[in-house]
Structure 1
């Protein structure tokens, strides 16, 4: 049974995080219980929306548990490289994607290797990483190298050496045609879904410019609210802030929309603990420098202040 947190008095400004907690409670108390791909089972609702103000450095970091924003930032910067191998992530201690290659390795070799040892071997052995560490054409590949096929004289098609860099095109369109309704980065490449370790969950980013302010609408087809959504909200806010800086715009709003929005049944303890907490504080993101392009940011460029989250909460990842 989830303990109910007393409502915030009407006279008090409502903390941005209550939206997230309200959604979590709604799913757990009223969501449909369903069998899912992982076999773990979920409670889910279909269709949800959250909105966050990004002005004056505000970011939607959760305060009712610690969100490891540096880990999420390292992952996002990795997306922008177009790399699809977990080796650069593992070398930085980022294990977000390790479970999928590890599961494949165990399944195909029968070797009962620990995640720690698998990750260490990925980092130490380039050939091993090449064989076992690639995720297929996931997020970053689609963002910066969407494949293009060129017609040949004989009627066949040949894959071009470089695909479409959606992020570079987005920056250019925001600068040259801010009123466009086509400021979109898309990850859902139907032709390559079967080759991906995991089809994109945060699949579509659309941007909007009004009165010199840049806002982002992030559509997520499938959302693990307990473990995934805190990172996804940070990623959407981070992307918007980086683009705004590159395009001489002010940050506006992050609008998050979810399709299948769910909590895993084995996350009951996390849900109960988090809904027993009340949000507090207003963290701010600062960016130390403006690099030459959006692809040149480094982890050292980002700093978060006034972030004092409550204790970390953990739960198993459903692979």
Structure 2
């Protein structure tokens, strides 16, 4: 990078600094407390296999990739994630289990029971109709009598419809999908934070935009922007387009007060490097990618910075 072109990550560091210094301090749902602003935008190029991985701390991108692939299956039980060593969704069902039973089970034991016990997994591993359920099986209702309806066995697959729409109507302003199903939000362990994705075809390139109603900038953003970039690249490949850029828009963008050490450390680090995301093959559909299909190259981040997750 030359002095005239800021590193792509600098906008993230600048946003972090602005929120930490000027954000509204408030008590949030978790009780931890945050500093928050409403409304932020960042843009990142995907040209030449670029991927906006944070370099000022290590991001475990395979965790984000496995989560995205899990979303696309429509699964809503943590069992498959846990089997792959992904723990990012465990805290919510574990918290529900502890509150319901009064048993202070540790995470490792809880996850062992999720993997090893079918009945336990079915009862305690389900997150409700989160992300993937809405993405590939948005509920439909069919009439069964005068003014009576029942949930149809099969819903709308927004992702399959999106791929078809990009291919056949690339000029459309309806190239989007969402996880915010108002009727089912109360049933979800966590309502969708990265809630609406929209795409645009421009000059043979696919651009992707994510609106995120709530963003934990210190922890969650790194996974969210990687997921957006990964999905945009997958869709571009499936639709014979080149990746263009990704645009991230945050609603309530916040930093948790108990992340002070993370924030102060990261703000003092200088971004560097230009990692790349490469897809090894083109599967037959958007639903047939596997973790082995993705490589991240030239990624040399600074050391990991740990911080607690607010549940």
Question: Aligned partners of 2:151, 2:113: CA distance in 1, in Å?
Answer: 33
- Corresponding residue number in structure 2 for 1:62: 54
Deviation at 1:66, TM superposition (A): 0.5
Question: Aligned partners of 1:188, 1:155: CA distance in 2, in Å?
Answer: 25
Structure 2: runs of 5+ lacking an equivalent: none
Structure 1: runs of 5+ lacking an equivalent: 1-7
- Give the ranges of 4+ consecutive aligned residues of structure 1 lying more than 6 Å apart after TM superposition: none
1:42-89 Cα shifts (integer Å, max 9, x gaps): 000110000000111001100000011001000000000000000000
Mapping 1:11-160, distance limit 5 Å:
11-160=3-152
Mapping 1:232-311, distance limit 5 Å:
232-311=224-303
Deviation at 1:117, TM superposition (A): 1.0
Deviation at 1:179, TM superposition (A): 0.4
Question: Aligned partners of 1:25, 1:231: CA distance in 2, in Å?
Answer: 19
Question: Aligned partners of 2:98, 2:144: CA distance in 1, in Å?
Answer: 42
TM-score, normalization: structure 1? 0.96
- Corresponding residue number in structure 2 for 1:3: none
Q: 1:279 to 1:11 in 2, by over 3 A?
A: closer
Q: Name whichever of 85-94 and 146-155 sits farther off.
A: 146-155
SS in 2 for 1:294: coil
- Corresponding residue number in structure 2 for 1:184: 176
- Corresponding residue number in structure 2 for 1:5: none
Deviation at 1:135, TM superposition (A): 0.1
Q: Name whichever of 152-161 and 236-245 sits farther off.
A: 152-161
SS in 1 for 2:183: helix
Deviation at 1:155, TM superposition (A): 2.9
Question: Aligned partners of 1:146, 1:20: CA distance in 2, in Å?
Answer: 33
Q: Name whichever of 276-285 and 146-155 sits farther off.
A: 146-155
Question: Aligned partners of 1:73, 1:86: CA distance in 2, in Å?
Answer: 15
TM-score, normalization: structure 2? 0.99
- Corresponding residue number in structure 1 for 2:155: 163
Deviation at 1:13, TM superposition (A): 2.1
Question: Aligned partners of 1:114, 1:156: CA distance in 2, in Å?
Answer: 45
SS in 1 for 2:287: helix
Question: Aligned partners of 1:82, 1:93: CA distance in 2, in Å?
Answer: 19
Deviation at 1:250, TM superposition (A): 0.4
- Corresponding residue number in structure 2 for 1:206: 198
Aligned residues: 311
SS in 2 for 1:217: strand
